[in-house]
A and B are shown apart, each in its own frame.
Chain A
Amino acid sequence: MHKENQAERFSGASKYVLDDELAEIVNISMALEMPLLLKGEPGTGKTMLAHAIAEAFNMRLIVLNVKSSMKLVDALYQYDTLTRLNDSRFGDSKRDVSNIEEYIRMGKIGQAFVSEERVVLLIDEIDKADTDFQDDMLDVLDQMEFDIIEIDKTIRAKHRPVIIITSNAKKDLSDPFLGRCNFHHIAFPEPDMMRQIVQVHFPEIEKELLESSGRTFYRLREIKGIEKKPATRELINWIRALRSDPDFRVKGLIKGEVPYLGVLFKKSPDYFVAQNAVSRFRV
């Protein structure tokens, strides 16, 4: 049914640098129709991967941003009682008030199931929700169907979506959950890889800036006592800031000046620690 997808292999997208290992894992997961669970430091491109897959296969991307207060049913569907009440009172809509189905709205998982084409379903930051939510959701994703109690109807997935799940948590998810996923841990990119990533975002970047910003960046990551180390996202924003500043000179960077520290360190204690450390770079 999805032969055309299987024949095509995932090999990266215009703004995403993919390492071979991850490509292999994505392809296996897609073929086995298993959800892929991605862990790794914030800012290593977990979420971006889903975007990249969607782009590469020209599929629609549906993002479910998990919130701590979220209940599973919110992700599946919503029964819009208020509109129904309103319609029953004023009766000026085209909807049939006695038909509850017209007041059911699909949540993100529901949308992915009823979609006419295969979609990429990104479940972002699953660790925010409690364990019950996680397990129940995996049941739904395993069965590929759920019931709408209000109208006693079962929604079955037309096409099994490509499911990417991300987690920032250090602690592991529950065993039944893990049992149903493929797993990959995205390590922080090595300097070489990072150079490629930067080049993808800034194709015409000067070699000098690329080298020295990268070196400074990895040096900053080594500062001790930092709670949230700057990651890829921060580096890219930082380079963007440097490039847009007409007064910026690469030579300063080599000498040990680090402008726009706030782009890299976003927590105030981290910022001060970094500032302190940077002032020692110059010596």
Chain B
Amino acid sequence: MFVDFFYLLRKAGIPVSPTSFLRLQQALSMGLINSIDDFYTGARSILVKSEKYFDLYDQVFAHQFQGAELKEPNEFELSEMVRALLEEWLKDPKVLADAFGVDEKDLAKLSPEELIQYFLDRLKEQTEAHHGGSKWIGTGGTSPVGHSGYHPGGMRVGGISRNKSAVKVALDRRYRDYSQEGPMTPTQIGEALKRLRNMAPFGPKDKINIDKTIYETMKNAGEIEIIFDRSLKDRLKVILAIDNGGWSMDPYIELVQTLFNYARAQFKDLKTFYFHNTIYDYLWEDPPRRSKPYPIDELVRLDPETRFIIVGDASMAPYELMATDGSIHIEERSGKPSYERLKFIVNTFPHSVWINPVMAEGWSYTSSIQHIREIFPMFELTLDGLERAVTHMMRKN
């Protein structure tokens, strides 16, 4: 029964296992499910194992049982594109307005819903006219104008400030928060990171060492002598600094997400910071790099045994690294070049590495990578590279 439904779910991309489908049959035959509502909740709880898929399930369900129209894949893609457009728009409306050939101010007058509708219409035109019309959207924002850190007050588009408007959703997705989503498979990454551990006896002496106790008791002619030990705890402190800005990092997002997910599961004492291209006076505790700056000078307060891991492609214009006031963000005007800041970090934390998603073969072509390699030991973001990075960080000196 409901075999179609099963296949439709799978087709929609929900990982439904045959076992769970059989279990649904069992539930049906036991007479537990007596109405379409029962079926809706029951089947969802048995078949769908993550709230991520609840929305998709709803769509498939409505299609199967209420004849609702299932969105064509095209439309899915289209809405993805609209989202990309919105991101663009929020970053720098001017670029996008130019791309559409309209005045920025006209677009700003639209309400969020109108804006989305406008994008959708334009996109439909576009796909019909050219196919693969997505190209020009993506590249529209790579122009350096976008790098000025100028955000046209995002939420103020159309003057809406309440939760849940479409723009807000898009706004939430504006910066990729690596912690929220990500592939969950490559267990090997977890395995590689697992070796980064520092077990040390810690806390009160509350664990009985049985072997020693028996030994001491025997030595004591049978008079019981209990030996206590401190229990072993993983005391490793890890700081993960991620480059989450700029287009140059985009191709590696998935890799970094995986790394991040495992790091979070693995380390008890993990601090995450974000930066763009390279580090100046501040690291940021929030992914949008806006509200929670963390001064680099403060790092000296932390335990120098902390493992400092930087993830970034280390690719930037040479002046960003070498010049005083090299930051491409206008508001970040420091007295010191990033180059010195990086040296400061290495001196503060002897166990630090730079993990680069760019493969090692490509390193010699970018001069900023060369410079950073002089400061940081650099490893590529592959299992191999991770393992070598871990070995490097576990070295005693």
Q: Which residues of A contact B (CB under 8 A)?
A: 20-21, 24-25, 27-29, 31-32, 34, 36-37, 39, 68-69, 81-82, 85-86, 89, 130-131, 170-172, 175, 178-179, 181-185, 222, 225
Known interface pairs A171-B184, A184-B45; 4 further A-B residue pairs with C-beta atoms within 8 A, sorted by A's residue number:
A25-B45, A172-B49, A183-B48, A183-B50
Q: Which of A28, A31, A68, A184 contacts B268 (CB under 8 A)?
A: A68
Q: Which residues of A contact B26 (CB under 8 A)?
A: 32
Do the beta carbons of B19 and A25 come within 8 Å of each other? Answer: no
Given A29-B45, A85-B224, A171-B184, do A24 and B38 touch, yes or no (CB 8 Å)? yes
| Chain A CB within 8 A of B217 CB | yes
Tell me, in angstroms, the Cα distance from A118 to B42 when the chains sit together: 23
CB-nearest residue of chain A to B208: A82
Do the beta carbons of A85 and B213 come within 8 Å of each other? Answer: yes
Q: Which of B23, B49, B268 contacts A32 (CB under 8 A)?
A: B23
Q: Which of A25, A172, A225 contacts B184 (CB under 8 A)?
A: A172
Do the beta carbons of A89 and B49 come within 8 Å of each other? Answer: no
Do the beta carbons of B41 and A24 come within 8 Å of each other? Answer: yes
Do the beta carbons of B27 and A32 come within 8 Å of each other? Answer: yes
Tell me, in angstroms, the Cα distance from A34 to B48 when the chains sit together: 14
Q: Which residues of B contact A170 (CB under 8 A)?
A: 179-180
Tell me, in angstroms, the Cα distance from A255 to B291 when the chains sit together: 29
| Chain A CB within 8 A of B54 CB | yes
CB-nearest residue of chain B to A221: B163
| Chain A CB within 8 A of B17 CB | yes
Tell me, in angstroms, the Cα distance from A85 to B222 when the chains sit together: 10
Tell me, in angstroms, the Cα distance from A89 to B214 when the chains sit together: 11
| Chain A CB within 8 A of B51 CB | yes
Residue contacts A-B, CB under 8 angstroms, 13 given: A28-B33, A34-B46, A39-B51, A69-B233, A85-B214, A89-B224, A131-B265, A170-B180, A172-B49, A172-B50, A175-B15, A185-B51, A222-B163
Q: Which residues of B contact A36 (CB under 8 A)?
A: 45
CB-nearest residue of chain A to B180: A170
Q: Which residues of A contact B49 (CB under 8 A)?
A: 37, 172, 178-179, 181, 183
Q: Which residues of B contact A27 (CB under 8 A)?
A: 32
- Tell me, rounded to whole Å, the shortest Cβ–Cβ distance linking A254 to chain B: 20
Tell me which residues from 45 to 70 in chain B have a Cβ below 8 Å from any Cβ of chain A.
45-46, 48-52, 54
Q: Which residues of A contact B148 (CB under 8 A)?
A: none
Interface size class of B (residues with CB under 8 A): 35 or more
Q: Which of B17, B208, B268 contacts A179 (CB under 8 A)?
A: B17
Q: Which residues of B contact A28 (CB under 8 A)?
A: 27, 32-33, 42, 45-46
- Tell me, rounded to whole Å, the shortest Cβ–Cβ distance linking B34 to chain A: 10
| Chain A CB within 8 A of B160 CB | no
Tell me which residues from 193 to 230 in chain B have a Cβ below 8 Å from any Cβ of chain A.
208, 210, 213-214, 217, 222-224, 226
Do the beta carbons of B23 and A34 come within 8 Å of each other? Answer: yes
| Chain A CB within 8 A of B324 CB | no
| Chain A CB within 8 A of B367 CB | no
Tell me, in angstroms, the Cα distance from A178 to B223 when the chains sit together: 51
Q: Which residues of B contact A69 (CB under 8 A)?
A: 233
Do the beta carbons of A89 and B48 come within 8 Å of each other? Answer: no
CB-nearest residue of chain A to B31: A31
Q: Which residues of A contact B48 (CB under 8 A)?
A: 183
CB-nearest residue of chain A to B223: A89
- Tell me, rounded to whole Å, the shortest Cβ–Cβ distance linking A268 to chain B: 13
Q: Which residues of A contact B179 (CB under 8 A)?
A: 170
CB-nearest residue of chain B to A181: B49
- A24, A172, A178, A181 pick with most chain B CB within 10 angstroms: A24
Do the beta carbons of B41 and A21 come within 8 Å of each other? Answer: yes
Q: Which residues of B contact A34 (CB under 8 A)?
A: 23, 46
- CB 8 Å contact bits of B12-24 with A (1 = contact, 0 = none): 0001010110010
- Tell me, rounded to whole Å, the shortest Cβ–Cβ distance linking A110 to chain B: 21
Q: Which residues of B contact A178 (CB under 8 A)?
A: 49-50
Q: Which residues of B contact A24 (CB under 8 A)?
A: 37-38, 41-42
Q: Which residues of B contact A225 (CB under 8 A)?
A: 291
Q: Which residues of B contact A81 (CB under 8 A)?
A: 210
Tell me, in angstroms, the Cα distance from A34 to B250 when the chains sit together: 42
- Tell me, rounded to whole Å, the shortest Cβ–Cβ distance linking B230 to chain A: 13
- B41, B49, B50, B264 pick with most chain A CB within 10 angstroms: B49
Tell me, in angstroms, the Cα distance from A39 to B37 when the chains sit together: 21
| Chain A CB within 8 A of B261 CB | yes
Tell me, in angstroms, the Cα distance from A25 to B15 when the chains sit together: 20
Do the beta carbons of A171 and B261 come within 8 Å of each other? Answer: yes
- Tell me, rounded to whole Å, the shortest Cβ–Cβ distance linking B86 to chain A: 19
Do the beta carbons of A85 and B51 come within 8 Å of each other? Answer: no
Q: Which residues of B contact A171 (CB under 8 A)?
A: 182, 184, 261, 264-265
